[in-house]
Structure formats: structure tokens, C-alpha cells
Amino acid sequence: MAYLELDRVAKQFGAQTVVDDFSLSVGKGEFISFLGPSGCGKTTTLQMIAGFLDPTRGAIRLEGKDLTAIPPARRGLGIVFQSYALFPHMTAAENVAFGLEMRKVPRNERAERVRAALAMVGLAGYEDRHPRRMSGGQQQRVALARALVIKPSVLLLDEPLSNLDAKLREEMQIELRQIQRTVGTTTILVTHDQNEAMSLSDRIVVMSQGKIEQIGTPQETYEKPASAFVSQFLGKTNDFAATIDRTAAPARLVVGSWAVPAPAGFNGAVTVSVRPERIGFGDAGLTARIVTRIFQGNHWLFQCDSECGPAIVIRQNDGKAQPAEGDAVRLTWRPEDMSARARESA
């Protein structure tokens, strides 16, 4: 079942552990993102899969075979680098052809595959351009074509979109997803951009300080963050201190002056996370006062001062009247919109 498997992989530089106890199994054709802040070990993990670094401990297996025993030049992985690392002295076609040349693909077939690869990334007709005469987006496409033309067993993307401007990045995200769907190549993307990870991947591996915080689908990691780090890193969130009281039936969750039916599984002091777009203004709930109200076109952003500390609320601009700055409000949400976890000792 597992196509690519990382088994308790660790990497140490001297006394410093950069990646620790990293286990992941990737299915064939899956699109996985390694998401985390800089220095969380995501690029190091990618480089170990690529073979540019050797793991200190653990095993990396591709279709059951030990990958670490194979030199990087013979792993047959396609890699797109953050800087693209195109060969500046070669034309786009020569860049794409390089991997095929190394594989001794006959000239005719090579030319055909290069043409097809460049056409796939939307660069038909750019065969004879040199990289320095192409825009950042075009270079990115050449790099993608160069990595895909060798029909890699796994495609590794190292922050490939971070050098593009916001609009182009969005376009490339959609295109990257479409290409990956069509080609069906198992893909691993390293990124620090949560939107990129969420819009592209089947599953996200959230990393922090060399450790995996959570592995899950974009919805899972967003809706049910496994740790405070995940909920903070994936979009905005509100954390409230709460208590679960199971002495009376039915069990109650008390947050501030508001009590709601308790979710299963916890007892005592907990932290509840609620996404700002899930909070509404109602008749019962946390007492709060609106501090600032910001209009952002399709939605309103409220910063509130609640009885449990500062809170942010996002309301869709549906044309209805919204509370003004200084108004006293009640913050309310449905029980299923909050996720509770044992309170971390501060």
C-alpha cells in the first residue's frame, strides 16, 4: 500500500537534531505537503528523500526498496528547486532534454518528449529561449517540465512558488494541481505557505522544530488541529481557556460565563479553539465588546475584547447590518465548531 515510506527518520548536524522520528507513508499518486515555519526541518527531510543528505537514523523506502542505498543520481526523482536551478547556458529545450540525455533516450524520442513536456506546462514555442530571457513564472514551468519529463517515481517540490508574485502564485497553484492530477506522479511539496499547502495537497504534514505535529487532510488539520501550534499556524484561530465539568449530568463545558454541552473525551481544564469565521453574534454566549471593525470587501473583521481575552470574528458581508465599534455583543458558536484539547501547562 505504502509507495514511499519514511520510517523513524532523523537527521542530526553535530549535536543539533534537525529532524526527529519522522514517520510517514505516502500512497502512490498522492500529493503531500510538508508545512511548517522556516527551520522546522521540512527541507532537510526533502533533501534526505532526494539523497543530498543522508539520514542519521531511520529508513526511507520506495516500493519496499531501501532508497538510502541508492546514490541521488540514480534515484530517478524529479526535483524542482526554490531557485529553479536551471542551466543558464542551455535553452529551455536543452534544459528539459538533459535528464533524458543522461538516460540515453534516443534523439528522436527525446525531441518528442521534450516538446510534449514543454507543451504540458504551456511553453510550446519557447524551446530555444535561454532561462535568463524568461520570466520567473516561465522559468518555474521549465523547471517543472525538466523534472517531469524523466517520468520520476516521486516529484519533489522545494518551495517552488515562493519566488513568484501573489497573482502568479495562485495561477501556478491551480496549474500545478491540474498537471499533477493528469500525470498522476506522487508529489511532495515543501512550503511555509498554509494556503498553498491546503489548496494543493491530499494530505498535509505539519512540522515544527523537527517533529511532526499532525498528518491529515487539509480539512482535518484546519478543523481539528492536534496541537496549539497547528491551530495557530493554519489560519487564524481563537483560543479560550475553558473547564469541563462532568460532576453533573449532562456534562457541561464552561467558558467564561457561558455553559454548553461538553464534547466527549476530556475532563477538567481544557483549551477550546474556534475559528473566527465560525463565531457569530447572538443572544447567549461570551460577553464581549467590539474594539475595531475592519471592512475587507467580501467580509468584515472584528477585533473584540471578550471576558476570556481578545477574540477575532469574521463575518461574511451578506448585506445585513453589523455591530459597530464599541457595541456590547455576545459571541456564540455551535458545539461542533470548536475543538477542545487538554490545556497545555504554560
Partner 1 sequence: MSGVAEERGARAPWALTAPALMLFVGVLLIPLAMTVMLSFHDWGQYKGIEPVFILKNWYEIAADPYYAEMFWRTFRIAILTTLLTALLGAPEAYILNRMSGRWKSFFLLVILGPLLISVVARTLGWALLFGGNNGLVNKLLMSLGVMRSPIPFMFTETGMVVALAHVMMPFMVLSVWAALQRLDPQIENAAMSLGAGPVTIIRRIIMPQIMPGVLSGAIIVFSLSASAFATPAIIGGRRLKVAATLAYDEFLNTLNWPLGAAVATLLLFALVLIVVGSNALIERRYAEVFR
Total of residues contacting partner 1 (CB under 8 A): 29
The answer to whether residue 75 forms part of the interface with partner 1 (CB under 8 A) is yes
Which 81-100 residues touch partner 1, going by CB under 8 A?
81-89, 98-99
| Amino acid (1-letter code) at residue 215 | I
Which class for 151: exposed (0-12), middle (13-18), buried (19 or more C-beta within 10 A)?
A: middle
Report the phi/psi class of residue 179: left, alpha or beta, with left for phi > 0 and alpha for psi in -120 to 50: alpha
Tell me whether residue 73 or residue 321 sits nearer to partner 1 (CB atom).
Answer: 73
Tell me whether residue 113 or residue 278 sits nearer to partner 1 (CB atom).
Answer: 113
Which class for 72: exposed (0-12), middle (13-18), buried (19 or more C-beta within 10 A)?
A: middle
Using the rule CB under 8 A, which residue among 102, 119, 124, 269 binds partner 1? 102
The answer to whether residue 321 forms part of the interface with partner 1 (CB under 8 A) is no
Alpha-carbon distance of 33 to 203, in angstroms, equals 7
Q: Which stretch binds partner 1 (CB under 8 A): 60-68, 127-135, 197-205, 248-256?
A: 127-135
Sign of the dihedral defined by the CA atoms of residues 123, 125, 131, 135, in that order: negative
The answer to whether residue 78 forms part of the interface with partner 1 (CB under 8 A) is yes
Tell me whether residue 138 or residue 303 sits nearer to partner 1 (CB atom).
Answer: 138
For the CB of residue 152, give the shortest distance to partner 1 in the complex, in Å. 9
Question: Which residues on neighbouring strands pair with residue 13, listed in sequence order?
Answer: 16
Tell me whether residue 16 or residue 247 sits nearer to partner 1 (CB atom).
Answer: 16
The answer to whether residue 72 forms part of the interface with partner 1 (CB under 8 A) is yes
175: Cα within 13 Å, side-chain hemisphere: 19
For the CB of residue 65, give the shortest distance to partner 1 in the complex, in Å. 18
Alpha-carbon distance of 47 to 158, in angstroms, equals 9
The answer to whether residue 136 forms part of the interface with partner 1 (CB under 8 A) is no
The answer to whether residue 13 forms part of the interface with partner 1 (CB under 8 A) is no
The answer to whether residue 130 forms part of the interface with partner 1 (CB under 8 A) is yes
Question: Which residues on neighbouring strands pair with residue 293, listed in sequence order?
Answer: 302
The answer to whether residue 39 forms part of the interface with partner 1 (CB under 8 A) is no
Cβ–Cβ < 8 Å for 82, 158: yes
Q: Residue 75: phi, psi to the nearest 5?
A: -75, -20
Which 276-305 residues touch partner 1, going by CB under 8 A?
none
> What's the distance, CA 295 to chain centroid?
28
The answer to whether residue 181 forms part of the interface with partner 1 (CB under 8 A) is no
Sign of the dihedral defined by the CA atoms of residues 330, 331, 332, 335, in that order: negative
Tell me whether residue 123 or residue 329 sits nearer to partner 1 (CB atom).
Answer: 123
Using the rule CB under 8 A, which residue among 73, 248, 321, 346 binds partner 1? 73
Cell of 164: 513568484
Q: Coil, strand or helix: which one is 32?
A: strand
| Amino acid (1-letter code) at residue 319 | G
The answer to whether residue 160 forms part of the interface with partner 1 (CB under 8 A) is no
Q: Which stretch binds partner 1 (CB under 8 A): 130-138, 192-200, 236-244, 315-323?
A: 130-138
The answer to whether residue 58 forms part of the interface with partner 1 (CB under 8 A) is no
Residue ranges in contact with partner 1 by CB under 8 A: 50, 52, 72-79, 81-89, 98-99, 102-103, 130, 132-133, 146-147, 150
